[in-house]
Structure 1
Amino acid sequence: MKKKLIAILVLTVTLTSCQDFLNLKPAYQISDQSFYQNQNDFETALVGVYSTFRGLYSGSVVHYIGELTTDNTEIQWSSPSADEMQLDQNGVTATNAFVRSAWNTCLYTVSQSSNILNRIDAVNFDQTTKNRIKGEAQFLRAISYFYLVRMFGNVPIATQTFTSPAQVAAADLTLKPKEDVYKLILADLTSAETLLPATLTTDKTRASQMTVKALLGKVYLTQQNYDLAATKLKEVIDSKAYSLVADYKTLSTNGNTNLAETILEVDYLSGQTLGNNYSSLFTPAITSMAIFPNNSQGSGRIVPTLDLTKVYEAGDARKGISVSDSVLLIGGKKSYSRYGLKFVDFKAVDPGDGSVSFTILRFADVLLMYAEVLNEQGKTTDALPYINQVRQRAKLPALSALSQADLRLAIERERRVELLYEGHRWFDLVRTGRAQTVLNAHYASQKLNFSVQDFELLFPIPQAEIDLNPALKQNTGY
């Protein structure tokens, strides 16, 4: 009944050494006698957790869930998959492959993180290093559960280490209330905050203390705990560890690693099967297109909506950096076609193997969240300087003398254009209670017979998981 969850939740680790991995037979029998003997073993295991977690971004699951489900993007390609159409048309079913991928990737990351955390204290090595590894593992478990709880609501909580299928079979892997999931998230993050060093690492693919604080601020904001959110977000701002880069374009083009604005990122390397597929997904499926070195075509799967292109204010410097409606063709002519520019590697020989880094958390997000928190606390005037910092870079005039309600809408619009293609839109609209109002109006304006119903604010539990473990009950409405 729990065979699939064994694969996800049992003691598992991704290793950089194939020989080490092949010596562990079967996987659930990984033990203290065969691994986890020293610092290097735990460092290797932690790299494996990061490798698993990046699957949310490398496979564009975050873009399908966070962008294609919204008024930001749509499918332009003539032959999309049924799973893609479900997300684009808000008709997601329990068999959707992208939803299942998110579920499996997050729970696999949870399992790997828990495996490290449950074994590390039994091994003797440098305490400072041990604390860092524990803090990073707690962060990865927390952010994975944060995705899960926002997508599915109630989810299984499995923080133990399993050493046999029998232990998995005996475990309580039923859905737990989302309140309990948030307790675990906060417990992990508050612990990680004390374990990770205050000094920033130059490698922003790894979690730091400030990464934890930024995520804590987002979690508290999602829970509408504005006082605690304000504290954590202000700590990030006051640290002076981050600043807005002068040129918005540098955030999402070649060479965008370890920028002053970046808090957490995923790096890619083309030519070694370590690239991303953004350049294909975000660009048109036109065979005569001449925007890549070998004139490759895109796939047109996640392209900007007409509504999105119209939401930019006049003079917004981000528009020409983020989206285009004119594609260069072989022969020099241009054709009308909307497509995304952010994170597209225009130097890529293969659009499915791009090298532009993807940003998970950045300082502009923190500034906009802090503006939102202050506004919700009734400090609307105090909130304006933080949104205006973001607008100033975009060459837009400062906002002033807005009511609390007007500033809410201004922040919503600012987040939409500032964070386009970064996977925030769906979660922002659900968090603010605006998903149905905004998306149903968007569908109506397009004369589309789609709508977001109450139950669709959560995604369905993957049916394949329920089939293998009936203790998982399907979310209402599916």
Structure 2
Amino acid sequence: MKKKLNIILSFLLLLGVWSCNEEKWLTEEPYSFYAPENSYSTVPQLKLSLNYLYNELRTFFWDINGDNAVFMHLGDIAYGGTDFPDGKFNNTRTWLVPTAGMARTVWDRAYRCIQNANTIINRLENSAAGADDKAFIEGEALFFRAFWYNYLAIMYGDVPVYTEEITSAKTDFVRTPRKDVYTQARMDLERAVTLLLDIDKVDDGRINKQAAQHLLAEVYISLEDYAKAIETASAVINHPQMNLMTSRFGTRANETGDPYWDLFQYNNKNRKSSGNKESILVLQYEHRNSGSPTGYNFLRQGFPFYMDIRVYNMADQANPEVVTPTVPATEGLFPISLGGARGIGVIHPSDYFLYDIWGTDGTNDYRNSPYIIVRDFKISNQQAAGYGEWYVADGHADLLKQRNPALYNAYMLRNFYPFIMKFGRTDNALPDDVLAKNSDGSFRLNGLGERVFIYTSMTDPSANSSLKDEYLFRLGGTYLLRAEAYIKSNQLTLAMNDINALRNRANATPAQLSQINLDYLMDEQMRERYFEDYRIMTLLRMGKFVERTRKHNPMGHNVDDHHNLFPIPFSEIERNRDVKWENNPGY
């Protein structure tokens, strides 16, 4: 009996051991597939995660096919050519509300990227990366985290800040004061500057020390530390590998143009391929690369819908003929001289930008030259009245205005306004698979002998993309940041010198000391960097969105006093059920 009892007890003890280890032996160990436990552990995995952050940044600025992205380009520089006068993004009062998608556009992407950056930083220490790789990877991840916290602070004010990887549901976030959000961005960037390499030591398009310093100078301004902003911007400006491009350079230097025009030509953005020492951080485009499927889509949203313009037969006053002046509409071909894009006239530049800010310099300012802002075009449709003539200079636009003012006004709203050619596709070296061809493989030409792009669908790069790398930061912007810090610290002569460095390069009349103030600076920002980034961010950061939109946008009457901040998305307030949030004032 005793022996039998011992056997039973031994069996129960063994069963207890098995029971204690049940959770362990039921747990899967991922040897042959990726899971949270074994990801972010090798250099290739960590770099792949960084590539995701690069792609998120590129997509954020380039994929502007949605209405919310269009809104980010408005303010004092533009308004909506569609939904005019009071629809959609032309009515900030109804567009910018907590329950609308506009409130979430940046919020969701920013926190998605912050979570990814936190994961990289938190797991880096226990990874297999060596010391050099760890420094570079941490520096890039810190830059991205700082970039998005800076954006969140600019747009929303007080927002949650967290620097640890979140691995489970959390409903008790606390909104951090705006100044402390900027401080987190400052700390991240100050450390990133110590880890990143100089611009001449990294591949084109990679985060570098000068890019981190450029962004850090902006953050210092937001923190009202103007001395640090000046010091940091000066470190970029005075770096031996940085210079404003004041002479002709690059792939089209032997053609008619100027140094500012050269900055935006095909293959001229990256310093290693063109010698461009003004570029700081360039977003990269690789044609037909599935990992980088989009280019900058400003051509679709920002170019006029010119294929639908009509002209009268000037010789036949009794029976006016109305035909398409560019190309037959049914063929869907778009001439290279007009950027080659199928514009739809959504982002209409404001009259203040197109005409007022250039003053007496007019087109003598290289940034407003006929090469970079095209204000007229030749009628290339051989079936059109006036074939081979200029639409404006030869009187076709005026004739339409005289005979049918209502139609003329409609055309001027969406179908014809100046072309912003810094993003246009005017280079014959562009990929030939986006150009129309004849059956024998030769390039198809329009009536003026120009190559033409063919439109296949709105998602194809032949229709919308600039097909080029594009700047995120360049040195002209750093000069403007330093000038802003000089103005805010009452060093107006030094601010004037920085502004005039840009104006001298642009062949513009030098600014006078009596002109220097923040409004003049914001006009100069517009002249120098128009549509290179989201204008609304500069206006919000400087607290000027309401004032300048009311003053310079024809739909400015739809802007309310509280619109210098975006609303916190209502869905985020609902989700954060364990800590009550009040929305920003006015929402």
C-alpha displacement at 1:378, in angstroms? 2.5
* Cross-structure match for 1:8: none
C-alpha displacement at 1:358, in angstroms? 2.3
> Does the CA contact (< 8 Å) of 1:440 and 1:452 recur in 2?
yes
Residue deviations 1:17-41 (CA, integer Å, cap 9, x gap): xxx9x945xxxxx423x32222221
How many angstroms apart in 2 are the aligned matches of 1:317 and 1:422? 16
Distance 1:115 1:82, change over 3 A: farther
Residue deviations 1:351-392 (CA, integer Å, cap 9, x gap): 323312221111011112212222332322233222111001
* Cross-structure match for 2:472: 360
Choose from 337, 341, 347 the match for 1:302: 347
The question of 1:43 aligning with 2:44 is answered no
Distance 1:180 1:449, change over 3 A: closer
**Which residue identity does 1:398 align to in structure 2?**
P
* Cross-structure match for 2:366: 317
How many angstroms apart in 2 are the aligned matches of 1:95 and 1:134? 36
SS at match of 1:318: helix
**Which residue identity does 1:300 align to in structure 2?**
G
> Which range is displaced more, 131-140 or 317-326?
317-326
Count residues with an aligned counterpart: 441
C-alpha displacement at 1:74, in angstroms? 1.8
The question of 1:75 aligning with 2:80 is answered yes
> Does the CA contact (< 8 Å) of 2:110 and 2:152 recur in 1?
yes
* Cross-structure match for 1:64: 70
The question of 1:160 aligning with 2:160 is answered no
Residue deviations 1:83-139 (CA, integer Å, cap 9, x gap): 54445x784223443442211111111111111000000123320111010000000
**Which residue identity does 1:253 align to in structure 2?**
Q
The question of 1:282 aligning with 2:394 is answered no
Distance 1:425 1:58, change over 3 A: closer
**Which residue identity does 1:476 align to in structure 2?**
P
* % identical aligned pairs: 24
C-alpha displacement at 1:466, in angstroms? 3.4
* Cross-structure match for 1:114: 118
The question of 1:216 aligning with 2:216 is answered yes
The question of 1:345 aligning with 2:351 is answered no
C-alpha displacement at 1:250, in angstroms? 2.6
C-alpha displacement at 1:327, in angstroms? 4.6
Aligned-pair Cα RMSD in Å: 2.9
Tell me which structure has the larger Cα radius of gyration. 2
Give the TM-score of the pair, scaled to structure 1.
Answer: 0.83
* Cross-structure match for 1:97: 101
* Cross-structure match for 2:445: none
Give the TM-score of the pair, scaled to structure 2.
Answer: 0.69
> Does the CA contact (< 8 Å) of 2:159 and 2:176 recur in 1?
yes
The question of 1:463 aligning with 2:468 is answered no
> Does the CA contact (< 8 Å) of 1:303 and 1:339 recur in 2?
no
> Does the CA contact (< 8 Å) of 2:217 and 2:230 recur in 1?
yes
How many angstroms apart in 2 are the aligned matches of 1:422 and 1:43? 27
SS at match of 1:268: coil
Residue deviations 1:422-472 (CA, integer Å, cap 9, x gap): 2253333344444333222224xx4x5724333110112223433444555
* Cross-structure match for 1:13: none
Distance 1:176 1:108, change over 3 A: same
> Does the CA contact (< 8 Å) of 2:63 and 2:294 recur in 1?
no
Gap runs ≥5 in structure 2: 1-29, 247-258, 271-275, 309-325, 328-333, 382-387, 392-396, 398-415, 435-452, 454-461
* Cross-structure match for 1:138: 142
C-alpha displacement at 1:296, in angstroms? 5.4
Gap runs ≥5 in structure 1: 1-19, 25-29
* Cross-structure match for 1:475: 584
> Does the CA contact (< 8 Å) of 1:142 and 1:188 recur in 2?
yes
SS at match of 1:476: coil
SS at match of 2:471: strand
Spell out the pairing of 1:186-197 with structure 2 (5 A cutoff).
186-197=186-197
How many angstroms apart in 1 are the aligned matches of 2:127 and 2:340? 54
* Cross-structure match for 2:536: 426
Distance 1:253 1:351, change over 3 A: farther
How many angstroms apart in 1 are the aligned matches of 2:197 and 2:341? 45
SS at match of 2:232: helix
How many angstroms apart in 1 are the aligned matches of 2:559 and 2:84? 24
How many angstroms apart in 2 are the aligned matches of 1:72 and 1:127? 46
> Does the CA contact (< 8 Å) of 1:252 and 1:357 recur in 2?
no
> Does the CA contact (< 8 Å) of 2:198 and 2:208 recur in 1?
yes
> Which range is displaced more, 119-128 or 201-210?
201-210
C-alpha displacement at 1:51, in angstroms? 1.5
Residue deviations 1:226-271 (CA, integer Å, cap 9, x gap): 1110110111112122111231113333223313211112122344
> Does the CA contact (< 8 Å) of 1:143 and 1:185 recur in 2?
yes
